[in-house]
Structure 1
Amino acid sequence: MNEIIFFGLNQNPKLIKNKPNKITKPIQFKFENEKENEKQIKQISTGFFSTIFLFKNEKAIEYLKQKDSNQNPEEIQIKENIQKVTVGTENEAILTKEGNVFAKGKYINPKNPNQFFNISSLIEDTNDRIIEDVFSGWNSIYLLTSNQNVYGIGSNDYCQVNFDSETLQKTEKPILMMKNVSKIFSGNSSHVFLLNSNQELFGCGYNSFGQVGLGESRKKDWQIQKLTKIQNISKGKIIDIQCGYTFSIMLIEIEKNQNQNPKRKLYSCGCHLYNGLGKNQNAYEFTEIKSSLFKNDNILDFSVGNAHTLILTSKKKLIGFGNNRYGQLGTGNTNEQSIPIQIKLPKLRFNENILIIIFLVDMKIHFFIILLFLFPILKKI
């Protein structure tokens, strides 16, 4: 079953009813008139204007926020089985088991921004039309193909799809960004990172706060027009990178000897505006986030919002720092946190034999947490 926990600005009156505008402490809730499939949530994704729930039966429903609060949630009508959902600023994308991506948004399909259509079918190289992964960014969408190539579509205002924005401000068809890519790292932000098959990291896009991590010499470059290699990264396996508005956070796994488990560490770069870096100073290269809360614990997962971060540890601790104007840190108040602090959760039914997977997704002022309780066979998800 699922334990659904929410805190932050309540912008979903159709979903979280009879609750205050700002929810500063984590609360549990259930769907109204809960159906059997809604007890088995696989994933959620949320952006400025919508939230999508994906269920284990490969169906998805969409809730529209605030300005569309009178509209009831709707099931997304796609005939193929849905594998992943991803919501950006004003765009959404759906990856199906067949390897197609259906998307909508005003920068994706300006003539009909509210209708999903198959954007993967627009890739000129027909051998590249099977998609393995998809990410939504700041009015842009990134596609990772089965041939390990990455395409971008949508807004290019900050060169987030790897082209000079003065010559190409937007594209309504996928454009090849980079070949031989193993992972895409993005978020509801206008910069992006790509990891190639040689474990080399490249970034491009908005860089006014040094959030691309290119160092002191590039901090004045407000946009990085071409994918550029990121230097001076600590040794280890890059597990994840997530992008906030003024910063980026990286999770690296460092191999230990045979008698020790790998240790995971967090690194951040960018501007400490709203304390999103987990430290009290700017960092124009990726530097470690240190805290006594991590000393005798390991990091399982983390998620980045517009200006705050939440972390889940192996000892089932939830830790956060950053902007808290709307209670999105769940600390019971609206005070910003410049350094990591532990967040108290409601009592949950944890079990030694159950794996906990946490999905933490948010945008500027809205926050969701879903804790999924799944059997150990799913450990590698």
Structure 2
Amino acid sequence: MMDALPDGVLGHILGFLLAPEAVRTCVLARRWCQLWRFTTGLRVGCRHEDERAPVKEHREFLDHLLLRGGSALDFCEFGFTEFQDDDEPRVNLWFRHTIMCRVRVLKLHIFSMCYLELDDLPLVSQHLTRLDLHGVVLHSSFLNFSSCPALEHLELVECGFLTANKISSKSLKHLSLTNCFLDVFSHVYIYTPLVSLRLDDLQGMTPILDIVPSLVKTFVRITEECEDVCAKLLHPEILDCVCQWCVSSKNIDGSGSSVLLRGLSQAKSLVLISELDKVVFKSDLRWCPVFNNLKALFLNDYWCTPDDFNALVCILEHSPVLEKLTLELFCEGPKYKIEMKGSFNLRERSAKISEHLSIVEVKCQDVDERVLKVLKFLPTINICFGVLIEAL
């Protein structure tokens, strides 16, 4: 049955096997002797961190395999759990060689306690469309993707930014940074025509985003690892603050002071989550932009404290076309037990809040005193609730 398939189809099928398994097919029959050379996919090492795949066990195999010749690669995946100091140059060589093979999707995952450092050289590829990196250290030149005009997806997980202060691309549409280690003294600037953005659990200074007119969907979660600090916001009695966006600094008119909200102002869907003691959003709200395209907004309890609810009111008043508001209050973890659904009272609507707001959801684990304070406040801005639903 397999023998009836053309060589191109068989080469594509072999790409779903780990590379050593694909090479072993050469013993099946004379026709299979050279098929592995023309596979369009290459998978080496492990797919998950619970598998064992040290670099040293793949050295000889990969050194020979990458000289195989044959067709260009649609995708290439490297996954390693251990490496030695002398493995770094070799992994960098393999990585760059796949770029020369006109690879379209490239993944390099290092599941180790140590970070593998990638060379401080720009990537040059007319074919690369997606790049996924896990557990590597990156430099400024590497994150300049001006020579990768087809690159649209960039996903970085547990990566370190050693000397990098900018991510720039004229083609990048989808960017995800998760649990990455950024500089604690200066911000990383993002200059890309994004459609979607995810910033989740970053350590160090929060990246600064340029205004992105094409932005549709954004997820931002500020955790305790965030190093952005404004002494004056935390302690109003302090007269001078050295942070670059505080009113006590030179940016007293707010120009150039926004870290995130100004850059997110054109998004259609926003998820904004923060630990209670973090100042990034609180600082940005003093020069809050107008979210002219925002239709769906998800906020956590950070936006409902303190009890004056100034942060919540501010962002609602700056969202003139908002249709759906979701508040997830005082939930530990991603699961909630109770969901309440309400709506905006059009008869008594506030002139400052979107007349399009038709869906309001409140999710929580328990209706405790903190949640009750929020529920008592919402009617003051004409949001009413009628249905209580136990979530599954």
TM-score, reference length from structure 1:
0.28
Which has the higher relative contact order, 1 or 2, with Cα contacts under 8 A spaced 6 or more apart?
1
Larger CA Rg, structure 1 vs 2: 2
More strand by proportion, 1 or 2? Answer: 1
TM-score, reference length from structure 2:
0.27
